[in-house]
Protein backbone atom coordinates (compact mmCIF):
# COMPACT_ATOMS: atom_id res chain seq x y z
CA UNK A 1 0.00 0.00 0.00
CA UNK A 2 1.30 3.43 -0.85
CA UNK A 3 0.00 6.99 -0.51
CA UNK A 4 -0.78 9.25 2.44
CA UNK A 5 -2.78 6.63 4.35
CA UNK A 6 -0.13 3.94 4.11
CA UNK A 7 1.56 3.03 7.39
CA UNK A 8 4.99 4.57 7.62
CA UNK A 9 7.95 2.73 8.98
CA UNK A 10 8.73 3.99 12.45
CA UNK A 11 5.50 5.96 12.71
CA UNK A 12 4.47 6.39 16.33
CA UNK A 13 0.98 6.92 17.71
CA UNK A 14 1.96 10.56 18.14
CA UNK A 15 2.48 10.91 14.39
CA UNK A 16 -0.82 9.37 13.33
CA UNK A 17 -3.74 11.60 12.34
CA UNK A 18 -6.03 12.62 15.20
CA UNK A 19 -9.74 13.39 14.92
CA UNK A 20 -11.12 16.43 16.69
CA UNK A 21 -13.03 14.36 19.28
CA UNK A 22 -9.84 12.56 20.28
CA UNK A 23 -7.95 15.85 20.33
CA UNK A 24 -10.54 17.41 22.64
CA UNK A 25 -10.38 14.42 24.96
CA UNK A 26 -6.59 14.61 25.03
CA UNK A 27 -6.32 18.35 25.74
CA UNK A 28 -9.11 18.32 28.31
CA UNK A 29 -7.27 15.62 30.25
CA UNK A 30 -4.48 18.13 30.79
CA UNK A 31 -6.43 20.53 33.01
CA UNK A 32 -9.56 20.85 35.14
CA UNK A 33 -12.47 22.49 33.31
CA UNK A 34 -14.90 24.64 35.30
CA UNK A 35 -18.67 24.77 35.50
CA UNK A 36 -20.54 28.05 35.07
CA UNK A 37 -21.25 28.73 38.75
CA UNK A 38 -17.62 28.05 39.71
CA UNK A 39 -16.38 30.44 37.01
CA UNK A 40 -18.83 33.10 38.14
CA UNK A 41 -17.76 32.83 41.78
CA UNK A 42 -14.05 32.83 40.90
CA UNK A 43 -14.45 35.94 38.75
CA UNK A 44 -16.46 37.72 41.47
CA UNK A 45 -13.74 36.92 43.99
CA UNK A 46 -11.05 38.26 41.65
CA UNK A 47 -9.54 34.79 41.29
CA UNK A 48 -10.24 34.31 37.57
CA UNK A 49 -10.29 36.28 34.39
CA UNK A 50 -13.25 35.44 32.14
CA UNK A 51 -12.30 35.59 28.46
CA UNK A 52 -15.08 35.50 25.87
CA UNK A 53 -13.77 34.29 22.49
CA UNK A 54 -17.16 34.05 20.73
CA UNK A 55 -17.38 35.82 17.42
CA UNK A 56 -19.24 39.12 17.13
CA UNK A 57 -22.48 37.73 15.66
CA UNK A 58 -22.94 35.42 18.67
CA UNK A 59 -22.17 38.20 21.13
CA UNK A 60 -24.68 40.46 19.39
CA UNK A 61 -27.31 37.72 19.30
CA UNK A 62 -26.93 36.36 22.84
CA UNK A 63 -25.35 39.17 24.85
CA UNK A 64 -22.24 39.51 26.97
CA UNK A 65 -21.04 38.27 30.32
CA UNK A 66 -20.53 41.36 32.49
CA UNK A 67 -16.85 41.85 33.29
CA UNK A 68 -15.60 39.31 30.77
CA UNK A 69 -12.83 40.36 28.42
CA UNK A 70 -13.83 40.03 24.79
CA UNK A 71 -10.92 38.69 22.78
CA UNK A 72 -11.41 37.33 19.29
CA UNK A 73 -10.11 33.76 19.05
CA UNK A 74 -7.52 34.68 16.44
CA UNK A 75 -6.00 37.24 18.84
CA UNK A 76 -6.17 35.22 22.07
CA UNK A 77 -2.53 34.14 22.39
CA UNK A 78 -1.23 37.61 21.53
CA UNK A 79 -3.52 39.31 24.04
CA UNK A 80 -2.93 36.94 26.97
CA UNK A 81 0.80 36.26 26.60
CA UNK A 82 2.31 38.19 29.53
CA UNK A 83 5.57 38.47 27.57
CA UNK A 84 3.92 39.66 24.37
CA UNK A 85 4.07 43.16 22.98
CA UNK A 86 0.31 43.08 22.21
CA UNK A 87 -0.85 41.81 25.59
CA UNK A 88 -3.82 43.21 27.46
CA UNK A 89 -3.18 44.94 30.80
CA UNK A 90 -4.88 41.99 32.53
CA UNK A 91 -2.22 39.61 31.17
CA UNK A 92 0.03 40.22 34.14
CA UNK A 93 1.75 36.86 34.56
CA UNK A 94 1.76 33.20 33.62
CA UNK A 95 -0.15 32.55 36.87
CA UNK A 96 -3.33 34.28 35.66
CA UNK A 97 -6.31 31.94 35.86
CA UNK A 98 -8.00 32.58 32.54
CA UNK A 99 -11.37 30.90 31.97
CA UNK A 100 -11.92 30.81 28.21
CA UNK A 101 -15.54 30.91 27.07
CA UNK A 102 -16.83 30.05 23.62
CA UNK A 103 -20.42 29.37 22.63
CA UNK A 104 -20.77 25.72 23.69
CA UNK A 105 -17.44 24.70 25.24
CA UNK A 106 -15.57 23.13 22.33
CA UNK A 107 -13.38 25.82 20.74
CA UNK A 108 -12.57 27.09 24.22
CA UNK A 109 -10.96 23.75 25.11
CA UNK A 110 -8.56 24.03 22.18
CA UNK A 111 -7.92 27.68 23.06
CA UNK A 112 -7.12 26.80 26.68
CA UNK A 113 -4.68 24.14 25.48
CA UNK A 114 -2.98 26.75 23.32
CA UNK A 115 -2.63 29.04 26.34
CA UNK A 116 -1.05 26.16 28.24
CA UNK A 117 1.57 25.94 25.49
CA UNK A 118 2.39 29.61 26.19
CA UNK A 119 2.97 28.76 29.85
CA UNK A 120 -0.39 29.95 31.19
CA UNK A 121 -0.63 26.81 33.32
CA UNK A 122 -3.85 27.84 35.09
CA UNK A 123 -5.83 28.45 31.88
CA UNK A 124 -9.05 26.50 31.63
CA UNK A 125 -12.39 26.68 29.88
CA UNK A 126 -16.06 26.74 30.72
CA UNK A 127 -17.94 23.45 30.37
CA UNK A 128 -20.84 24.12 28.01
CA UNK A 129 -19.59 27.62 27.17
CA UNK A 130 -21.76 30.70 27.11
CA UNK A 131 -24.89 28.60 26.63
CA UNK A 132 -24.26 26.84 29.96
CA UNK A 133 -23.61 30.21 31.62
CA UNK A 134 -26.94 31.55 30.39
CA UNK A 135 -28.79 28.31 31.24
CA UNK A 136 -27.46 28.59 34.81
CA UNK A 137 -29.21 31.95 35.10
CA UNK A 138 -25.96 33.87 35.51
CA UNK A 139 -25.75 37.55 34.50
CA UNK A 140 -25.86 38.45 30.81
CA UNK A 141 -26.17 41.91 29.30
CA UNK A 142 -27.67 42.66 25.91
- Confidence (pLDDT) at 142: 85
- Confidence (pLDDT) at 94: 96
Q: What is the mean pLDDT of the chain?
A: 92
3 state DSSP class of 52: strand
The CATH class of the 31-135 domain is alpha beta
Mean pLDDT computed over 10-32: 85
3 state DSSP class of 46: coil
- Confidence (pLDDT) at 9: 59
Mean pLDDT computed over 12-16: 71
List 58's β-bridge partners, or say none.
none
Question: Residue 31 above 80 pLDDT?
Answer: yes
- Confidence (pLDDT) at 15: 77
Domain boundaries, the chain: 31-135
- Confidence (pLDDT) at 12: 65
**Helix%, strand%, coil% for the chain, nearest 5:** 40, 10, 50
Amino acid sequence: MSGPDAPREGRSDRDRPTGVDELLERVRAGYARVEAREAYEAARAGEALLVDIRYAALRERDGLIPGALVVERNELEWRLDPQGSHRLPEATSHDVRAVVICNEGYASSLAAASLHQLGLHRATDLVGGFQAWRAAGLPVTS
